[in-house]
Amino acid sequence: MFLRACVSLALLSSACATVEQSQRESAAPSRRGANLRRAAALPWLDDGRCVVQEASNEWPVLVEKCFHALNHDRIRFHDVTGKCSVARADAATLGVGLCILAAPEIVGAVIVIGVVVIAVAIAVELGKESCDDMFTACLGTSIAGIPGPLYGHSQCHACRDLCVQLGGTWPATSNGKPCL
């Protein structure tokens, strides 16, 4: 009886751990996309390379690791809630900016001066994300049954590859075969 109870408890705890792990893994892509879209509105000095590298982390971690890559001449931080209040000396501005940018609940506190063009690296990653979504949708259509240019690949693979080359725009055709 005791052995059966121990085995049941072990199976239950391993099942819970498996569910928790799979939920974390499925949350990472949506977090990555959300972070990329959020960072796309900010001016980056490194064309967004740091953001792309750190996008799978939680937003505050991304901000802390990539804050140095922001174009600080084009961004202003206003602590509208008083949550990040520290002395307003030049050295403290870094701390205030980091705190405000990392806190998702502080809305309207980051002001960008001028027009922001999406950083190249971020735009490419966002394009890949939309191509992957379209590829997944394509696999559920009759196009998935059309042989692609490579052995073992369907036409959906060729369409996805061309989508990435086009910067995230799903093509109507690829290799003379339909993608839609």
- Residue pair 159/137 in contact (Cβ under 8 Å)? The answer is no
pLDDT at 85: 63
* Helices and strands in the chain: count of H runs, count of E runs: 6, 4
Tokens of 90: 């030049």
Taking only the tens place, the pLDDT of each residue in 39-98 is 888 888 888 889 989 988 998 899 889 989 988 888 887 777 777 765 344 444 556 677
Pair 35, 51: CB distance under 8 Å: yes
Please tell me whether the overall predicted TM-score, pTM, comes out greater than 0.75 for this model: no
- CB contact set of 43 (below 8 Å; sequence gap of 6+): 70, 71, 74, 75, 112, 114, 116
β-partners of residue 178 are: 173
| Nearest-10 crossing angle of helices 59-66, 2-39 | 50
pLDDT reading at 168 higher than 70: yes
Report residue 14's pLDDT band, with 50, 70 and 90 as the boundaries: very low
Mean pLDDT of the chain: 73
Name the pLDDT band for 170 (thresholds 50, 70, 90): confident
In the DSSP assignment, the letter for residue 117 is P
